[in-house]
Amino acid sequence: MKNRSDQLVHEFGRKIVTGEYRSGEVLPKVEYISEINEVSRTVVREAFRGLSTLGLVRSNQKAGTVVLPCSDWQWWNLDVLTWIIEDGNNTDFLLHLTEVRLGLEPIAASLAAKRATEQDLINIKNAFERLEQSIGDEKAWAKADYDFHERILQASYNAIMINTIKTLRKALVLSREKTYHAAMNFPRSLYDSMYESPTQEVLERHRSIYDAIMARDEDLARQNMSDLILRVKKLLEQINEKHS
């Protein structure tokens, strides 16, 4: 059970993250929020401090409590991530998330090709087989896809990359659901003409990463992972265009 201060943090935090309050906008005065919500001013000030800790606002006596630009937000905070994930218009966030993946996962694939133990290779093989079996089930695919990439990440033995991706797990699963849905339901122009179907393209791109790691080919593993994530990025860009 959240106390009243925490409830206000969630209420205003969600409104800021989803754009109801925009960068540079001043939040209502403490006295007004206190009266409307039937709480003490101390509770409201405590909530504002919570929002400030998340990098969402900055308070001062002259300007009031001002919403900060998204570049200041504590993106790795679970509350901030949850608010943006629950927003229906979050494709820009998912696109930025994919760009983060593009900076990390090709390197992780290359490191996995080099460092994976025999047990790691077995784990990656099992994860790929689960991925094959999940074709046709959107939610099962999203989870199996995340698990496949996580096995590769674990085999990189880079603790910083592993921890960063784990923090983003919920958002990454959602991103996979959205892009898989797009690949399955959008026109043929959205997938590569060399493949007979979007299902085949999705699976074969993952197989190419799997094969490169099994062959201990670091450069090919990096390239194939990069190609896959760039494909995801293109899908998200096309989703954006469709809804703009």
Both tokens assigned to 134: 């999940």
Query: How many domains would you assign to the chain?
Result: 2
Could you give the percent of the chain with pLDDT greater than 90?
A: 61
Residue 121: other Cβ atoms inside 10 A: 18
pLDDT at 190: 52
DSSP-based three-state secondary structure for 75: coil
Give yes or no for a contact between 8 and 44, defined as CB atoms under 8 angstroms apart.
yes
pLDDT digits (tens, 9 = 90+) for 196-218: 566 778 899 999 999 999 999 99
Burial environment of residue 127 by CB neighbours within 10 A (0 to 12, 13 to 18, 19 or more)? buried
Task: Give the domain extent around 149.
Answer: 88-243
Q: At what angle do helices 91-115 and 218-243 cross, to 10 degrees?
A: 170
Q: Are 65 and 129 members of one domain?
A: no
Output the domain CATH number for residue 134.
1.20.120.530
Residue 78 lies in a domain: no
What DSSP designation does 26 have?
A: B
Output the domain CATH number for residue 10.
1.10.10.10
pLDDT digits (tens, 9 = 90+) for 166-201: 888 888 887 777 777 666 665 555 555 565 566 778
pTM above 0.85, yes or no: no
pLDDT at 8: 96
DSSP-based three-state secondary structure for 89: coil
pLDDT digits (tens, 9 = 90+) for 133-174: 998 888 888 889 999 999 999 999 999 999 988 888 888 887
